């Protein structure tokens, strides 16, 4: 597609979606074509538009610096903020810089994953992020996995018909405060079901990337084949959950949160994945291995780091909270 056709198609896209975005106070569509610094933006934006179109869904990146994503059920629209896109780029870079996946360690460029004044740059035609080609290719695989999880989480809300129940709630955000008439327990159950859907999408994509890279970049496939794919996806997603906790803070009162703690989301994914009935019945060894890797990533960044964060998901109160949510999950899971 030449530049002019790109422009025309993008302008049509924004003219069509902007009235809806404005109606829901989501901010204008982001000027994807004008950002020349983040080389991941254009290819991944158009790729996601094409992928979501197959499910009759529109896709938008909103002009919003906060780290957020959501779905407008009645409009068949999945959106992420530019803040989310930028943070995912930086998180993928941090994971790569840390060398935790066995690749070459590199110097980090971002102290704060959510500092929009210092946006992610790189992957322009002339300037890759890393000198090492394998690490650059690894970044693409990890970023793709993170993005597919965020979109897959939102699709999970649609596929599990979360918009059909509690119609007063039109939008669903990844970080919103409690609104509407759903109980907090229902809200958390919905989020955990959507997480599982996102996990499945991310795992499918990661396995596809690994098999594709067997030919295009055998070094990347070799690195990623060292870890089993469930562990690898949970590691990448737990980094995401931890980043979200770092950005939005952690309130000790679960009833005021629309989403559970990062470590709790990671723990529950593992529990649902392996059909544990409660947090105590298994999975600690796998979880600890994953969390050690996540800690290494965040220790590499000098951002606020709380190495005790796993304990938040294993207290008596949290186990009781989880038991209540676990009983609610079947109501919100149709897929
Ligand atoms: Zn959600």
Q: What is the pLDDT of residues 50-67, one digit of tens each?
A: 999 999 999 999 999 999
What pLDDT is attached to residue 7?
85
* 26 CA from centroid of ligand 1 (Å): 16
Question: Is residue 32 predicted with pLDDT exceeding 90?
Answer: yes
* 124 CA from centroid of ligand 1 (Å): 32
* 253 CA from centroid of ligand 1 (Å): 19
> With bands split at pLDDT 50, 70 and 90, how would you rate the model's confidence at 180?
very low
Question: Is residue 68 predicted with pLDDT exceeding 60?
Answer: yes
What pLDDT is attached to residue 179?
44
User: What is the average per-residue pLDDT within 262-281?
Assistant: 66
> With bands split at pLDDT 50, 70 and 90, how would you rate the model's confidence at 101?
very high
Helix axes 284-300, 229-248, angle to 10 degrees: 50
User: What is the average per-residue pLDDT within 236-253?
Assistant: 82
Question: Is residue 279 predicted with pLDDT exceeding 50?
Answer: no
144 to each of 47, 52, 91, 322, how far by Cα in Å?
Answer: 11, 15, 12, 30
Q: What is the pLDDT of residues 77-88, one digit of tens each?
A: 999 999 999 999
* 197 CA from centroid of ligand 1 (Å): 11
DSSP string, 265-296: HHHHHHHHHTT-SSGGGS-HHHHHHHHHHHHH
* 8 CA from centroid of ligand 1 (Å): 32
* 328 CA from centroid of ligand 1 (Å): 16
Give the full edge-to-edge strand order of the sheet including 77-81: 58-62, 77-81, 69-72, 171-173
Tokens 């952690």 locate to 250
What pLDDT is attached to residue 246?
83
Percentage of the chain lying above the pLDDT 70 cut: 81
Question: Is residue 177 predicted with pLDDT exceeding 60?
Answer: no
> With bands split at pLDDT 50, 70 and 90, how would you rate the model's confidence at 126?
low
C-alpha to C-alpha distance for 247 and 192, rounded to whole angstroms: 20
* 181 CA from centroid of ligand 1 (Å): 16
Percentage of the chain lying above the pLDDT 90 cut: 42
Question: Is residue 151 predicted with pLDDT exceeding 80?
Answer: yes
């Amino acid at each position: 597609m030449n530049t002019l056709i790109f422009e025309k198609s993008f302008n049509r896209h924004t003219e069509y979606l902007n009235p809806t975005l404005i109606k829901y106070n989501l901010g204008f569509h982001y000027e994807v074509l004008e950002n020349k610094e983040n080389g991941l933006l254009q290819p991944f934006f158009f790729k996601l538009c094409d992928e979501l179109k197959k499910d009759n869904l529109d896709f938008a990146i909103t002009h919003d610096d906060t780290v957020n994503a959501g779905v407008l059920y009645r409009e068949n629209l999945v959106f992420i903020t530019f803040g989310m896109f930028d943070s995912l780029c930086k998180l993928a870079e941090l994971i790569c810089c840390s060398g935790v996946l066995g690749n070459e360690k590199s110097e980090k460029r971002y102290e704060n994953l959510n500092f929009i004044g210092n946006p992610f740059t790189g992957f322009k035609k002339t300037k890759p992020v890393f000198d090492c080609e394998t690490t650059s290719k690894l970044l693409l695989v990890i970023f793709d996995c993170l993005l597919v999880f965020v979109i897959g989480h939102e699709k999970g809300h649609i596929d599990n018909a979360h918009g059909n129940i509690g119609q007063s709630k039109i939008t669903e955000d990844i970080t919103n405060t409690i609104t509407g008439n759903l109980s907090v327990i229902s809200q958390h159950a919905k989020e955990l079901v959507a997480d599982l859907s996102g996990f499945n999408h991310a795992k499918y994509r990661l396995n596809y990337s690994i098999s594709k890279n067997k030919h295009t970049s055998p070094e990347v496939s070799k690195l990623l084949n060292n870890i089993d794919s469930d562990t690898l996806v949970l590691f990448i997603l737990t980094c995401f959950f931890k980043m979200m906790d770092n950005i939005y803070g952690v309130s000790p009162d679960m009833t005021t949160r629309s989403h559970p703690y990062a470590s709790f989301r990671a723990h529950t994914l593992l529990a649902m994945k392996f059909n544990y009935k409660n947090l105590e019945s298994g999975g600690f060894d796998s979880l600890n291995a994953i969390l050690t890797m996540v800690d290494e990533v965040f220790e590499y960044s000098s951002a606020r780091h709380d190495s005790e964060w796993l304990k938040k998901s294993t207290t008596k109160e949290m186990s009781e909270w989880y038991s209540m949510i676990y009983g609610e999950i079947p109501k919100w899971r149709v897929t």
